[in-house]
Structure 1
Amino acid sequence: MTDIPHKRFGFDTVFDSQGGMREPPPRPKRAFTPEEVEAARAEGHAQGERSAIARAEQHAANALADIARAVQEAFSTLTAVAHEHRSGSAILALAAGRKIADAALERFPEAPASAALVALAREVEAQPRITVRVSQDLVERTQAALEETAHAIGFPGQIVVRADPHMPPAAFTFDWGEGRASFDPDEATRRVSEALEAAIAAEGLHAEPLLPASES
C-alpha cells in the first residue's frame, strides 16, 4: 500500500450557517512598496493636520464664546453703574438747586410773586383788582415789589397785598375774581422731587447706550 502524504488542513476555509463555504477574508498585507509607505505616511500626516486644525478651531470658538460672555457681563455691569451715576448726579443736582433756590428765596422772598404777575399779565390785564396773600412779615415788601412790576408791565388795576398767618415764606396766592394762582416753595420742591424720581424709575436701565452705534 502506497503511503499518500496528507495535506495539512488549512484554517482559511470558512463555513456559513447553512454549511456552505464562504470566501475567506483577505489576509492583511505584510509587505508594502516604498510608494505605498509614502502614501500612507502622507495620509497620516494630513489626518494629523486636520485633527490639529479642528482642535485649534474648537479652542478658538470656545475662547470667543468666553469673551462674548465676559463682554456681555461687563456691559451689563457698566449699564447698571451708568444708571446709578445718572441717578446720583440728578439727585445731587436737585439738592444743589434746592440749596440755591432756598438761598435766593430767603434773600428775595417777593421775587416769585413779581414773576407770577409778569406771567399772568395777559390773564389779569382787564381786571380792576388783584388780591394777594403772603406771610405777615412780607406784606409791605411784596406790596412795593408788585406795584413796581405792575407799572413795568402796564397793569392799570389795583393790587392789594394782605397778610395770611398760614403762608410760609415766599409763598403767595393771587385772586382776581375770575381766576386764582398760588405758589408754595415746599410744595413745588416736593413735586419736582417726585417728577425726578418717576423719571429715574421710568428710565431704569434703558437709557441711551454707553457707546454710540458705529457708523457704516
Structure 2
Amino acid sequence: MAPHKAPDSSRRSDRSRRAIYDAALALVGESGYRRTTIEGIAARAGVGKQTIYRWWPSKAAVLMEAFLDLAARAAEEANPQAGGGAEVDGAEYGIPDTGDLAADLKLVLRATVDELNDPLMEAPTRALTAEGIVDAKLGAEFVEKLLDPQLALYVTRLEAAKEAGQLRPDADPRIALELLIAPLTHRWLLRTLPLTHAYADTIVDYALGGLTPRP
C-alpha cells in the first residue's frame, strides 16, 4: 500500500491566494470599489473570511495586491523573454532603447493602449483610479506602488535620449513623459473617442515634433 502523502499546504495557499485575487478583481470590476467587501471576496473565492484577514489587513490591501499581481502577469505576458522573474512593481522591465526614440515610445504606448482596452485590466483599473481620486490614502498607494515605478521607466529612456542629443538639452523628462501619458489617460477615463494604436502613434509624433511649423 502506497504511503499516505500529506497535502501540500503551500500549494493550497497559492491556490487560495489566486482565488482571492481573481474574486477581488472580478467584484471591483462588477460592483465598484465601495460595494466590494471582504465578505463578498471570501464568498466568491470559496474561502473563509479569516483566511483573508490572516493575509491582509484591509479590503484596500487585498485589491491593491491583486491589481499589482495582475499588472505583473500582464507585463510578463508582454515580455516573455523575462521568464518568471517579473517584479510586481514592474521595475524589472524597461522601455526598449533601439536608438530610435519615436519607434520605442510608439511601441510602449501601443502596449499601454492594449492594456487599457483589455477587459480584464480595464474594470479594476477604472475602479481603483476612480476611488483613488476620493480616497487620498488609496490614491497615494496606487501611485507609489504602480504608477511611479512605471513612470520611472519613461524617465530613464528619455534621459538616455537627451544624452544622445535626441531631445532638447533643457527638456524635463518628467514633463515630457506627461505629454505622452496624459492624453491616453484622458481619452480612456472620459471615453471620448476610441483608444487606438494610431492615436498612440500620433501622440508620440506630436510630443516629439511639436505643433508649430518648422522652417
Would you say same fold, with TM above 0.5?
Answer: no
Output the TM-score relative to the length of structure 1. 0.23
Which structure carries more helix by proportion? Answer: 2
Output the TM-score relative to the length of structure 2. 0.24
Structure (1 or 2) with the larger CA radius of gyration: 1
Which structure carries more strand by proportion? Answer: 1
